[in-house]
Chain A
Amino acid sequence: MKPAPFRYVAPRSVDETLALLAEHGAEGKILAGGQSLVPLLNMRLARPQVIVDINGIRSLAYIRRKDDHLHVGALTRQRAVEESATVRRQVPLLWEAIRFVGHPQIRTRGTVGGSLAHADPSAELPAVAAALDAELVVRSPSGERALSPGEFFAGYLTTALEPTDLLTEIRFPLLPERTGTAFVEVARRHGDFALVGVAAVVRRSDGTIAEARLAFTGVGPGPVRARGAEGRLAGSAGTSRVFADAAREAAARLDPESEIHATAQYRRDVAATLARRALELAWQRSGGRTR
């Protein structure tokens, strides 16, 4: 299980990276934490000609608050996110979810940008990005653009990234007061990719739900937002009944696939359960009490 031959280059800056990507086009491949790419290389399931290792670009690793967003550099290690008091305080959903990504020994290398760019259908971070309406900042030789999760995630292991693009930053909008978030998941074992995962955001106005957002992972080709259920939740009372109904409705619209670890029906059923649990938890965290 050894990688096929490739050539390797480690640029020092974003500009140099973009130039290299432009030069090598589809033959090039960005190497970030390597926790998804290198297994594929070792198994020879990916065969790029040129590996562009961005680990030396220090300027791509940061966690910064700017206005009403938290800016996370694409090369920020998942471990750094987990250890960041800022993230924990400002974007608790990200903090909660990242601890479901593999194991500490994986998160020391794995990056936030890498997880999003890889777009595994069972990965946690895409659901977080979707639930928070994060902006994904992409640089290409022609300039910079900020994509919404809906624009960024294009399907199974696919994104809007072109071979010449570099994801540079993820901007997580800070949530207003009285907003609670929760990430829950079911995996075969601790640390595995999710069979089903749910990210929930609930904003409260007294006893009613002012706004709710729900994003799933593991139940589609990419992260799935439950817009219908979200719409129904807005303005409703924050009761167990309401959450359960919304969760069921959201799950009923999912179209997951059966594979060796779980059937489609299991995924749909558990999606309903987890959505309910996540909504209730988020509601509680917003300061509300469920009745």
Chain B
Amino acid sequence: MPTRWFGERIPRNEDPRLLTGRGMYVDDVRRPGTLHAAFYRSPHAHARILRIATDQAKALPGVVAVVTAQDLPERIRGPLPKLIPHPALVHHKTQVALAGEVVRHVGEPIALVVAESRYIAEDALELIDVEFEVLPAAVDLEAAAKPGAPRVHADMADNIAAHHIQRAGNVEEAFAKAPHVFRERFTMDRGSSSPIETRGVVAEWDPRSHQLTVWDSTQAPIRIRNYLSDLLGLPQANVRVIAPDIGGGFGPKIMMCYPEEISIPWAAMMLERPVKWIEDRREHFVATNHERLQIHDAEIAVDTDGRILGVRTTYLHDCGAYCAYGLTVPIVSGTTLPGPYKIPNYHAEYRAVFANKTQTSPYRGAGRPHGVFVMERLMDRVARELGIDRAEVRRRNFIQPHEFPYDLGGLIYQDGVRLVYDSGNYPEVFRKTMDHIGYADWAAQKARYRREGRRVGLGFAFYVEGTGIGPYEGCRITVEPSGKVYVATSVGTQGQGHYTSFAQIVADALGTDVRDVIVTTGDSGAFGWGTGTFASRAAVVAGNAVALAAGAVRQKTLQVAATLLEARGDDLELAEGKVFVRGVPGRAVMLGQVAAAANPLRGVIPQEWEGPGLEATRYFAPPSGAFAAGCHAALVEVDTETGLIRFLRYVVVHDCGPVINPMILEGQVRGGVAQGIGNAFYEKLVYDEQGQLLTQTFMDYLLPTVAEVPPVEVDHVETPSPLNPLGIKGAGEAGVIPVPALVASALDDALSEEGVRITEMPLSPSRLREILREAQTAPTPA
């Protein structure tokens, strides 16, 4: 048993269950008498609903109910809750549980069928007849932003949901005086997070106890509980929302609420039978939020040494048909863009635009890949134009270790707090990365490849990632007389290993084996306060709440054990599941005995115990986010004849402060890199002009397989955060963020002879060859 669990590469507590097929995912919830739901979804991107005929569907044997908007009670018929308001978000449009009048994207639910099986429910969908008046659709982002475009929301004058500007310094002056200004347009297209488990909801209503239980594949069970309680008119205590094992989330499983998250629980109450809805893959493509499409016009002003004088970006953000979640993604793009560089003058301005497509909300990275893509592309451009080595340009502009906390001059981050980097060591992260990839002698190596007729490029990209934002998370820890330690926190887990990393923190505080610490997450019945798993915050915010609660239980343990052992608390130690007098291991009590003694049948409980039992609840509310950083570098080979690419090496150096479990961290990073590779070269959601999604299967929306994802070498730098007791920073999104920028930079390098300049993502073999052709025929830029 290690003396300290924190920092150990230990296997996960949750694995045996998941490996043996004993996981409990939403679709695994089996309640007697369960009915199965399916949705009739809009086949049109934009249409008025004239008539809905459900009689035939209702008559089909096995169908229990067919519900349309008019059947819903008043309180859930209107627009669903607005998540994160923002002063700039003047048109905070949200979707409805069931569309009764207008549909604004393909896949919007219109009718709910509940039947004895999903098979029958789908049979019934075919018997529903809806008459539509098809309306013109706004699909293309730029076109949708123009005046006169078809309006997604009839009560608006145009499709602009928000127009928002953030500034630091005086950009106009900086650009006017700058010796060099470089401009570029960058595009990142739509993608889908596509967890292998789709969404799902199972709801059960007990009419006697008035208790609603909902199993939901959400990343934010407590918030869902709160909204359900509000929308269905039930006390919070009568609603229990459980996020059981979740088969991957990556952002879009946090919405509060998707239409189905309200209509299914309501149906269960109305029918007084459990109702299960499991999204199928084609539904997932149209009904679960997308992300990524933004078009940035960007320019950078530099002096003759390549020092940044100013950066300006104006961009369009694609909301889809609604923007329930708010402006997180474009705000994060604008505030991530400056990255590790000193940018004295900065201007970020965007318009968030409605279009007749599936709604968007944060997907792993959440706007950061865009910001990093723009900034790192600009830095490469500066290097090329000024003939300065691209690593050197970066070194000249890095924020230095002694300059923290570093204030970005008045930018406001997604949490509404002024953007100040807490800590970091960017030059060191960069040096390590360049060493690992062998940048020093890359020129010679590249020439060698070239002589062999191979086109290989070295790419790299640096990012700073805001993680671990508030408002808060909480945790309750209880030691039972068995000696087992029970930890309850509300953040859901989607594979990030919280059952283990939280247990490591607790095991250290209580001197127990990590396997004796049993963590419950994401069950509002076990712990009722919290916000959710997003923005790389679970480890930071909940992790610190866990540490605080564990510290409190440790104190209590010492107090109680002191009485039992007739010793002073200061003289006691906790190890191996025991409390003992330092230097006298024989004078010991088991942790479980202490727990029993803390809950006596007779006698008095001393005032200073603050109640019975070895139990404590603590909350952690960070003042602001903790900023992680990292750099990725890779060698990418291009077959110019076919446009195929292949990674020869991939290196990540990451700084997220002290690492609780390096194995889990590396897994997070590697998984993120794989998604980033998808974003860069494989995954693209394609809409036609009518707003039909052409990529609705895994045959057309291409998730990378083992053949496309290289082994990733991971190394760490540890700069603790001063903002939380554990000093940790989040790591959930680190893997994905810089990949598009890195791939672009590697391709530029591999195809430098042709003068290729990648400004868009994702690419494909076909598109890459097109770019190559364009570069070859284009006049060489002046």
Contacts and interface: CB of A to CB of B under 8 A. Distances in A.
A265 B768 CA distance: 12
Task: Count chain B CB atoms within 10 A of each CB in A4, A192, A260 and give the residue with the most.
Answer: A260
Contact of B707 (A4, A189, A269, A270): A189
A85 interface: no
Task: Count chain A CB atoms within 10 A of each CB in B123, B704, B765 and give the residue with the most.
Answer: B765
B282 A1 contact: yes
Interface in A137-196: 186, 188-193, 195
B766 A262 contact: yes
Interface string B281-311: 1100000000000000000000000000000
Interface in A31-72: 39, 43-44
A4 B118 CA distance: 11
Contact of B769 (A4, A191, A269): A269
B682 A2 contact: no
B686 interface: yes
Contacts of B707: 189-191
B282 A4 contact: no
A245 B695 CA distance: 37
Contact of A44 (B122, B281, B700): B122
A262 B768 CA distance: 10
A192 B281 CA distance: 18
A176 B765 CA distance: 37
Contacts of A274: 642
A266 B770 contact: yes
A88 to B, nearest CB: 23
B274 to A, nearest CB: 19
Nearest to A103: B705
B642 A189 contact: no
A274 B644 CA distance: 13
Interface string B44-73: 000000000000000000000000000000
A7 interface: no
A4 B126 CA distance: 10
B449 interface: no
Given A189-B702, A190-B705, A4 B641 contact: no
A1 B765 contact: no
Contact of B695 (A3, A191, A193, A260): A260
A5 B61 CA distance: 13
A266 B772 CA distance: 12
B473 to A, nearest CB: 37
A191 B686 CA distance: 22
Contacts of B689: none
B609 interface: no
A188 B122 contact: no
A191 B705 contact: yes
B694 interface: yes
Nearest to B119: A2
Interface residues of B, number: 30
A266 B643 contact: yes
Interface in B88-135: 118-119, 122-123, 126
A186 B765 contact: yes
B642 A190 contact: no
Nearest to B695: A260
B764 interface: yes
A236 interface: no
A273 interface: yes
Given A1-B280, A4-B123, A261 B704 contact: no
Interface string B681-701: 010101000000011010110
Given A266-B769, A269-B769, A189 B704 contact: yes
Given A44-B122, A191-B707, A270 B642 contact: yes
A180 to B, nearest CB: 21
Contacts of B281: 1
Given A260-B700, A266-B769, A266-B770, A188 B764 contact: yes
Interface residues of A, number: 26
A43 B119 contact: no
B764 A261 contact: yes
Contacts of A191: 705, 707
B702 A195 contact: no
B626 to A, nearest CB: 37
A263 interface: yes
A169 B700 CA distance: 32
Contacts of B702: 188-189, 192
Nearest to B643: A266
Nearest to B36: A2
B765 A260 contact: no
A39 B697 CA distance: 10
A43 B123 CA distance: 12
Contacts of B119: 2-3, 5
A186 B645 CA distance: 11
B399 to A, nearest CB: 39
Contacts of B770: 263, 265-266
Nearest to B707: A190
Contacts of A43: 282, 697
A190 to B, nearest CB: 4
Contacts of B682: 188-189
A43 B280 CA distance: 10
Contacts of B641: 269-270, 273
Contacts of B697: 39, 43
Contacts of A4: 122-123, 126
A265 to B, nearest CB: 8
B14 to A, nearest CB: 26
A68 to B, nearest CB: 36
Contacts of B27: none
Contacts of A186: 642, 644, 765
A40 to B, nearest CB: 11
B197 interface: no
B142 interface: no
Nearest to B279: A1
Given A189-B704, A190-B705, A192-B702, A262 B282 contact: no
Contacts of B642: 186, 270, 273-274
A195 B686 contact: no
A87 to B, nearest CB: 24
A190 B682 CA distance: 12
Interface string B736-763: 0000000000000000000000000000
Contacts of A195: 765-766
Interface string B764-781: 111001100000000000
Contacts of A266: 643, 765-766, 769-770
Contact of B122 (A2, A190, A261, A270): A2
A193 B644 CA distance: 15
Interface of B: 118-119, 122-123, 126, 280-282, 641-644, 682, 684, 686, 694-695, 697, 699-700, 702, 704-705, 707-708, 764-766, 769-770
21 contacts: A1-B122, A1-B280, A1-B281, A3-B119, A4-B122, A43-B282, A188-B702, A189-B682, A189-B705, A191-B707, A195-B766, A260-B684, A260-B694, A260-B700, A261-B700, A265-B770, A266-B765, A266-B769, A269-B769, A270-B642, A270-B765
Given A2-B122, A260-B694, A266-B770, 9 more contacts: A39-B697, A186-B642, A189-B707, A190-B708, A261-B764, A261-B766, A270-B641, A270-B769, A274-B642
